Amino acid sequence: MPRLRFAKAELQTRYGEPECPPGQSLMQALLSLGLPVASSCRGDGVCTKCRLRVHSTPGALTRPGALEKGLLAKIHAEPDERISCQARFDGDGVIDVDAGYW
């Protein structure tokens, strides 16, 4: 099962490396831990405010679909950014995540 890891040491110490079920969005996983995720569309894939810096091992997250690709292009996202409401856990691996505001 995929696991989350945090860029900031204090978050890593507090949350460890929680496992996330396949199919769950990155946004849902973070919210379930009590971490805020910016959003004005509540995860409908419209506002792009939930973008996060993500580094993952191959297969840990689904590849961006057409909607997410379009959103990332629209906001001129960096290669390591994902829209957290659209990125879903897929197979085994580790996902390093940083929102910059936690």
Q: What predicted TM-score, i.e. pTM, was given to this entire model?
A: 0.92
The three-state secondary structure class of 73 is helix
Domains of the chain with CATH codes: 3-98 (3.10.20.30)
pLDDT tens digit string along 2-45?
Answer: 999 888 889 999 999 999 999 999 999 999 999 999 999 989 99
Compute the Cα dihedral for 8, 9, 11, 15 and give only its sign.
positive
Q: Is the pLDDT of residue 87 over 90?
A: yes
User: Rounded mean pLDDT of 84-93?
Assistant: 93
Task: Provide the mean pLDDT of the chain.
Answer: 93
The three-state secondary structure class of 26 is helix
pLDDT tier for residue 61 given thresholds of 50, 70 and 90:
very high
Query: Under a CB-based contact definition with an 8 Å cutoff, are residues 60 and 97 in contact?
Result: no
Query: Under a CB-based contact definition with an 8 Å cutoff, are residues 92 and 21 in contact?
Result: no
- Terminal-residue alpha carbon distance, the chain: 24
